[in-house]
A and B are shown apart, each in its own frame.
Chain A
């Protein structure tokens, strides 16, 4: 079964409280392919000081940084399936109660699940899970959908077309 949800809003200010992702740390032992990034506000400011210059590519990145309070990434690619449990994902989703799901794609057949969630004034979370993959991205702080859109094409960030679906809300369900 596939569930596709689209709730796209423009000009929303996003920010987030830090998600507790510590329960995922044990998964690092199960794979050699791990991305673990923890950047608090101080480190983002420090990093921003080294993004001066760097050309047009980094201009949009530099523009969003002042509003950010934290960036947290946990990404695991496993060699075997079922290396993590549904409870690991549920523990994250429980912390996101009250957040709006702007995109959700679920494939029961493939066991894949993607979600992009936001909470006005709190932040944005991207949650991707599959049989051999689990990724959580938490961008904490103020970021508008326009800024996210403008990041498209920079640093390989895909363009997010929010204008086309502005203020629209669709929920589609496929078996």
Chain B
């Protein structure tokens, strides 16, 4: 038991660090800290760029959708006017036809 205690004490004895150990540790910590800060800057820039692109993309998509809606509306408008035109033409031709075969027509004016 005494031998065991002695071995344990021997193993756990306080040992002074080698010369320059503290400076080396601090220097390494500084290097690693700088290295870890670099990716975070990159990430920030990448995120900002991504957001900018996403915003620009969103605006472009919105404008494209608006343009498509406007073109559809224009096509619908022209279609509506063409149908109106055709139907007014039908009315006119019915009037003309009615007037042409109007021998028995009398006025209620």
Contact = CB atoms under 8 A, between A and B. Distances in A.
Given A35-B79, A37-B76, A157 B85 contact: yes
A158 B82 CA distance: 10
Given A46-B73, A126-B88, A135 B95 contact: no
B102 interface: yes
Interface residues of B, number: 34
Given A43-B73, A156-B85, A105 B94 contact: yes
A135 B83 contact: yes
B86 A39 contact: no
Contact of B106 (A37, A155, A173): A173
Interface in B46-105: 66, 69-71, 73-74, 76-92, 94-95, 98-99, 102, 104-105
A114 B83 contact: no
Contact of A114 (B71, B76, B90): B90
Given A4-B98, A47-B70, A39 B76 contact: yes
Contacts, number: 122
B80 A157 contact: no
A137 B91 contact: no
Nearest to B85: A157
Majority secondary structure, B binding face: helix
B95 A4 contact: yes
B65 to A, nearest CB: 12
B2 interface: no
Given A35-B79, A105-B94, A158 B105 contact: no
Contacts of A39: 73, 76-77, 80
Interface string A109-132: 000101010000000001010000
B88 A160 contact: yes
Given A50-B70, A126-B88, A128-B91, A71 B80 contact: yes
Nearest to B96: A105
B109 interface: yes
A158 B88 contact: yes
B72 to A, nearest CB: 9
A141 to B, nearest CB: 13
A47 B109 CA distance: 43
Interface of A: 2, 4, 35, 37-39, 43-44, 46-47, 49-51, 61, 65, 71, 73, 75, 103, 105, 107, 112, 114, 116, 126, 128, 135, 137, 139, 151, 155-158, 160, 169-175
8 contacts: A4-B95, A4-B98, A37-B76, A43-B73, A47-B74, A105-B91, A155-B85, A157-B81
